[in-house]
Amino acid sequence: MLSRHILCTIIAGSQEMDLDTFLTAVREGDVQTVRRGLAAGVDVNDFRWFDWTPLHLASEYGQTEVAKLLIQNEANLEARDMGQSTPLHKAAAEGHTGTCELLIRSGADVMVQDEVKHSLTWTSPHPFIKLLLGAALGLVSF
């Protein structure tokens, strides 16, 4: 059995893509390559860099369109990395409001805490706090 940290090749029909190519496309917001990877059967919940899923990576870099594709392909909104951060933690910490809105609209838990019990309000830039509080209180609709 191959370790999850060994470069693997995903083969589906005539398409193939290694996971590192897919993750680079996620990080860079290359929607077409991400679509090809999804069509080739890449696991959207595979943990790689720092135990991040592709959705953690898209969220960290504010790649909202890529995040949307991953969510449409059943990416886990509540996946935890090594520090117990979720994709929403990553997007919030970097101030990616559009990505945060997508994650919240898709059902991400706005009350989540990481391993040191930091909530999203701890890691988020000031303008995002209003969005989080509104979502938590049901005052913001998307």
Q: How far apart are CA 58 and CA 23, in angstroms?
A: 9
Helices within 1-142 (DSSP H only)? 19-28, 31-39, 54-60, 64-72, 87-93, 97-105, 120-123, 126-137
Compute the mean pLDDT over every residue in the chain, rounded to the nearest whole number: 80
Q: What pLDDT sits at residue 111?
A: 81
Burial of 142: CB neighbours in 10 Å, binned 0-12, 13-18, 19+: exposed
Neighbours of 13 (CB within 10 A): 8
Hey, CA dihedral for 107, 83, 65, 21, is it positive or negative?
A: negative
pLDDT tops 90 at residue 141: no
Query: Residue 11 — φ and ψ, nearest 5°?
Result: -125, 125
As a whole number, mean pLDDT of residues 91-105 equals 90
When mean pLDDT is compared over 21-25, 47-51, 89-93, the highest value belongs to 21-25
| Residue 112 to residues 4, 30, 87, Cα–Cα distance (Å) | 27, 29, 11
What would the pLDDT profile of 40-80 be if each residue is shown by its tens digit? 999 999 887 678 999 999 999 999 999 999 999 999 999 99
| Domains located in the chain, CATH noted | 9-137 (1.25.40.20)
Q: What pLDDT sits at residue 13?
A: 41
